[in-house]
Structure 1
Amino acid sequence: MEVQAKWEVLARWDELSEDQGKAVKHGDTPLVIFKQKDQATVMVNRCPHKGAPLHGGKIVNGEVVCPWHNFRFDTCTGVSPTNPGRCATMFPTKIENGFILADLANPFMNDQNAPEDQLNTSIGLEFNDYIKRKMKSAGKFNLELDLFDTQLLKKYQGFVELGDQVSMIVRPQTSIPLMEIINGEIKRRQFKSFSVNITYAGTPHHSPGYFGFWHINDVDEMYISVPGQEEGEDPYLIIVMNKPREEEKDTWAHFCLKCGTLLFERSHEIAKTGVPGIWASERKYLKEFNSDITLRTCKNCGEVHPLGYSIMKKWNTPEEEAARTTW
């Protein structure tokens, strides 16, 4: 229900640029102002995906590109063109006597079905949440794994739940690197034996030739690389992560391999469906992405993306499986 308007002066019109959002703060609320011709738009200065400051993003064709993960939002409507379910929180705005005013008492979203704007505060919340759940696994024996016992590791291939808090995946590791998108740039990582690597929550990551999409977790992932103990045996990659909580999701996405623009993404509520639901969601996502050439065509640079493909070879069409060798 709309409450009484509370118009606040935020900036002068002549301070704004169409090339860059202007960051302002009112009380404890970070805001960003965008200028498009004779119109000004005021939004919460946080990407609804992972809380990145939107004023640091580039403006391309009237859309602000999130500086962290390349999510795009229309600077006039706040709507994401690739996923309308993620909308920026906005405020009624007007221009009077050369000043920008916003009604900060009545925030809104242009998609009424969109989730509430959530800032990723996992660093601050994880410890408090841990205290609340304090030792739910108390009384159970601790699990000890001998990383040199590869016969034992083979028993843990696939998704394994360890207690109430942790999940683990063990898979043979080839020379495939891990690709990540960090600050809008694609980075490559090659795991060294006995190395420990962490991919933080919200980081798009992709293993060429292993899964044909970008995966975005709402939990951190820790990778431990262990060499094979027998001659000719592949090394193993152990992936350890917290079990997702009710509000956390897995996201499948595709980004332009040429310019990094987000092409398409869908989220899956893994805490509700468990591991079996992951595969159905992955298949549904790939079918939607692969069947529509407009989703695979970058609106920024025109590059056409190859088909996506599943981790499970048996679920791919011949065309999807052929794409495994291209990216």
Structure 2
Amino acid sequence: MYTNIYVDEPIEKIHDDWDFLTDKVIKKLQGFLPVGDNVYGIRQVVHAKREEIGNAHLAMELVKERKNFEIGPKGVVQVPRVPYVAHITCAGTPHHTQFVFGYWHINDKDEVIIPVPGVNGDPDHIVIIMGRPTGEETDRAAWYCEECTSLLHMSEYVTGREGFRGFWRWELAAVREYNADIRKRTCWNCGHVNPLAYSGFMSTDTPETREARKQW
């Protein structure tokens, strides 16, 4: 996959020891980069608390105190992140990472997530690998009531056909559509008014969505 990630250094400086987790590489993989049959992403973990969200120098840095959740047959469950142990989020499983993206992500490919601890004071990282969507395979942003888990709203993007070039534009549009109508955030089942959504990229935050990011 290195052939698809270009860095501005002479080859003699990188051919023996090119650190996959340096900033120059992470910036190429902050979103998702399709390479061959797979899609890759890298997220840097900062030691900030949720109150300090927004001070990071990368657009998608992860807060260390975050929690990861999935929705399955038993409802919402917390998913551990064990260093160097791969966790597989199976295709079709709604999953959410606190403070990172303000919706439940559902995709049609399995995701492999590998936490990589930092060494000698370096930041921790999360490496994400999944199959490349093809044909009519989709990504979905969904919102479920935080009180009763009823489905409130869902937006779909046909990633296999449209590609990842338009993924983040769709994601931001879906977030804004959900936030624009309080009826979408109000649970039809129990009446609970759910918090605002927010994009995966902090640079798109308004003051209101930045506060929502700190909540969930």
TM-score of the alignment, normalized to the shorter chain, above 0.5: yes
Asked whether the equivalents of residues 143 and 152 of structure 2 are also in contact (C-alpha less than 8 Å), the reply is yes
Question: Displaced runs of 4+ in structure 1, greater than 4 A?
Answer: none
- Find 1:170's aligned residue among 21, 34, 42: 42
- Aligned pairs, how many? 180
- Find 2:173's aligned residue among 284, 298, 303: 284
Give how far 1:273 is off: 2.4
Q: What TM-score does the superposition give when structure 2 sets the normalisation length?
A: 0.78
Identity of aligned residues (%): 36
Give how far 1:170 is off: 0.9
Residue 274 of structure 1 is matched in structure 2 by 163
| Letter paired with 1:324 | R
| Letter paired with 1:297 | T
CA-to-aligned-CA distance 1:242-278 (integer Å, 9 cap, x gap): 0001110000000000000000001001122222211
Asked whether the equivalents of residues 43 and 126 of structure 2 are also in contact (C-alpha less than 8 Å), the reply is yes
Residue 61 of structure 2 is matched in structure 1 by none
Give how far 1:235 is off: 1.1
The residue correspondences of 1:1-327 to structure 2 (distance < 5 A) are 151-154=19-22, 155-156=25-26, 157-158=29-30, 159-163=32-36, 165-173=37-45, 174-183=64-73, 185-231=75-121, 233-327=122-216
Which protein has the bigger helix share? 2
* In 1: Cα distance, 2:167 partner to 2:124 partner: 26
| Letter paired with 2:190 | C
* In 2: Cα distance, 1:297 partner to 1:150 partner: 49
Q: Which stretch has the larger CA shift, 307-316 or 172-181?
A: 172-181
Residue 69 of structure 1 is matched in structure 2 by none
Q: Which stretch has the larger CA shift, 209-218 or 316-325?
A: 316-325
What CA RMSD, in Å, does the superposition of the two structures yield over aligned residues? 2.0
* In 2: Cα distance, 1:264 partner to 1:183 partner: 20
CA-to-aligned-CA distance 1:263-310 (integer Å, 9 cap, x gap): 000100112222221111111111110010110000111100100001
SS of the equivalent of 2:19 reads helix
Q: What TM-score does the superposition give when structure 1 sets the normalisation length?
A: 0.52
Q: Which stretch has the larger CA shift, 172-181 or 298-307?
A: 172-181
Give how far 1:234 is off: 2.2
SS of the equivalent of 1:290 reads helix
* In 2: Cα distance, 1:150 partner to 1:262 partner: 45
Relative contact order, CA 8 A, sep 6+: which one is greater? 2
Asked whether the equivalents of residues 186 and 193 of structure 2 are also in contact (C-alpha less than 8 Å), the reply is yes
| Letter paired with 1:153 | L
Give how far 1:160 is off: 2.4
* In 1: Cα distance, 2:185 partner to 2:123 partner: 34
SS of the equivalent of 2:185 reads coil
CA-to-aligned-CA distance 1:187-242 (integer Å, 9 cap, x gap): 011201111100000000000101100000100000111111231x2211111100
Asked whether the equivalents of residues 143 and 153 of structure 2 are also in contact (C-alpha less than 8 Å), the reply is yes
| Letter paired with 2:99 | G
Give how far 1:184 is off: 5.2
The structure having more radius of gyration, on CA atoms, is 1
* In 2: Cα distance, 1:239 partner to 1:175 partner: 19
Give how far 1:150 is off: 8.6
